[in-house]
Structure 1
């Protein structure tokens, strides 16, 4: 399927890369179809609307940058997404002018069921996570500088 994007123009996406978000995303409730588009040679991936070429979100696997990140997916969300075993979890990313200050949203992960291709952004109300967690914590940046 060929889709229009503002970043890459017209691109081809495979059916297995398309996910249905029955309730849309917070603030974008009318957007229901999204494609996952990898950002080659990076840990990032785009969640691109199939309806609106201008609408895409940068995602990252939060476990790559926050290995201790964990949460219990509420039963209502498990049922809504019909999750049996397989699940994919991503965090939305906000890129800052100073890239080292870029953040990921651990409070509201994007949860996908890869078996039936459904998705939802889940707000973890009872967690201590924040919407703006540094992707590269200061101590990680300092140790990287020390090795130069």
Structure 2
């Protein structure tokens, strides 16, 4: 089974989703001025249980929206991270293939090569997976450190 990963398209997705998250974040606080004025003794409903509940519900909505914006932002960050991992993996595979071709033919291929075909190759597949695992481990250590 082959998995085609397009890092450029992944970054586009992350940017589009992040733009939508920024739009969601723009609505917070929900009805902020009206909410605050609802319990103001001069402008609103002083000692009103309805105004109190309304303010509490809108505060809760703000928390939900902020939580969702954080989740979407984390998704975008993770998507960009996976795109970086994939690009680095492709670069290393292409470099390994170029080195292998240089050793076999005496020179590297002119236009470079993509590592995508190698992942489907049963002979090289195990080495590619092991290399990918090491690369992901290194990038995760950099990210957390």
Q: What range describes the TM-score normalised by the shorter chain of this pair?
A: under 0.3
TM-score when normalising by structure 2: 0.25
Whose RCO is larger (CA < 8 A, sep 6+)?
A: 2
Which of the two has higher C-alpha Rg? 2
When the two structures are superposed, what TM-score results if normalisation uses the length of structure 1?
0.25
Name the one with the larger helix percent: 2
Structure holding more strand per residue: 1
